[in-house]
Homo-oligomer: A and B are copies of this chain.
Amino acid sequence: MSAPDASPLRLGIAGLGTVGIGVVKIVQRHAEMLEARTGRKVVITAVSARDRTKNRDADLSSYAWEVDPVALATREDVDVFVELMGGHEGAAKDATMAALKAGKDVVTANKALLAHHGQALAELAEGAGRVIRFEAAVAGGIPVIKALTEGLAGNAIRRVMGVMNGTCNYILTRMETAGLPYETVFEEARQLGYLEADPQLDVGGIDAGHKLSILAAIAFGTKVSFEHVVLEGIGCISIDDIRRAADMGYKIKLLGVAQMTGRGLEQRMMPCLVPAASPLGQLQGGTNMVVIEGDSVGQIVLRGAGAGEGPTASAVMGDVLDIARGTRLPTFGQPAARLADPIPAAVSAPAPYYLRLQLLDKPGALAKVAAALGDAGVSISRMRQYGHADTTAPVLIVTHKTTRDAIDVAIAALPATGVVEGQPVALRIEEV
């Protein structure tokens, strides 16, 4: 073992929001513990944020202050640039690239940056002989990047799944427990400050999609390809769907799934039904969960807080301490030049589907629906018609395993039956 580096590891932190201050607190509170665990002092030399005058919950007086994050990133007395500004263009990107070019290692919590520029950053880091680490970018405090890249590196990964947007899971859970419609809970979440400034990042699945694309790159040795993630948000989910799914033994989750099949790489971030008794089905509120399936290990489930000061700062510090200890890996677990261009799967793997439709109260109506499904090659596993006071009755169908194409053909054929009102809802049932 070559003599480990015993000089202090000097951090420059750009971005002093919740997570940045969380990192400052850990470095200050646990100086002795961090030194015991790495053999080096871990110190902060400089920080940067937009507003210097803002009152922050930490003493920053001993750190140099840089107005310009690029200047921070390239300071002589900074070894590791800790990027906690967010955003995939502008200052975060510029400063990260400047840091790597200046020979600094980078630790970031920025999922958007990695999702959009992961390959370029990986190439830049490797060319400069530096590392870029991003445990905090995916599933907050859960050490999932480490598990996938290192602990499970002996496995051919079959599938990675995750509930990775706490706000969406909060909304879906709250709709169920309080019996409130989507719009009401959405508004609650906004008022509680749970939503991003652009709520589509959350409820449209974009934020979770960024995370999925990062996991997929590591799992399957492909270049990050967020542009190939099939995104569907949770806005289409009604309280009825949640209740009916529960009747059939399922929960609805905004579930990300990445898998490599003979048809290519699938990346989906969409509302799915999962068995209520499964670990994913049991996940409540803002907690995150990632499920990794490997050919040797089988299924590994990781669960923890997906956001917040402490958990995210914990993940940032995990990366910092690895760097302090001299652990150096390629960005996505193998050299950037070896990462393959992913071939996105044109069709998704077959699955059972959940269909909800409003049936007109006419003789033979159910038979007509069943026939339309049959004609499309969709076979019915379970069907429930609910009582009604109205001229239409809600009907739920769980199909046998079929393709999304067949489901779409069946749905397109339903209006012609003359017995279905409105737009049917079709949700994939992911076998977990």
Contacts and interface: CB of A to CB of B under 8 A. Distances in A.
Contact of A334 (B37, B146, B147, B279): B37
A296 B22 contact: yes
B338 A36 contact: yes
A316 B155 CA distance: 11
B296 A313 contact: yes
Interface residues of A, number: 64
A96 interface: no
A230 to B, nearest CB: 27
A227 interface: no
A432 interface: no
A300 B142 contact: yes
Given A147-B147, A153-B37, A328-B326, A294 B279 contact: no
A221 B36 contact: yes
A316 B154 CA distance: 9
B130 A296 contact: no
A18 to B, nearest CB: 12
Nearest to A144: B151
B300 A301 contact: no
Nearest to A325: B329
Task: State how many copies of this chain the complex holds.
Answer: 2
Interface string A139-159: 001110011001111111000
Interface stretch (A168-176, A252-260, A303-311, A346-354): A303-311
A296 B310 contact: yes
A37 B303 contact: no
B303 A297 contact: no
Interface in A306-363: 308, 310-311, 313-318, 320-322, 325-329, 333-335, 338
A150 B38 CA distance: 10
A129 interface: yes
Contacts of A135: 151
A320 B147 CA distance: 14
Contacts of A406: none
Contacts of A417: none
B314 A30 contact: no
A302 B305 contact: no
A381 interface: no
A200 interface: no
Nearest to A140: B297
Contacts of A156: 30, 33
Interface in A141-198: 141-143, 146-147, 150-156
A143 B154 contact: no
B318 A141 contact: no
Nearest to A277: B282
B298 A154 contact: no
Interface of A: 1-2, 22, 26, 30, 33-34, 36-39, 129-131, 135, 141-143, 146-147, 150-156, 221, 277, 279, 282, 294-305, 308, 310-311, 313-318, 320-322, 325-329, 333-335, 338
6 contacts: A39-B335, A147-B147, A150-B318, A155-B314, A297-B315, A301-B303
Given A154-B316, A277-B282, 12 more contacts: A22-B296, A33-B156, A33-B221, A36-B338, A143-B150, A146-B147, A154-B313, A296-B314, A297-B304, A297-B314, A300-B304, A301-B304
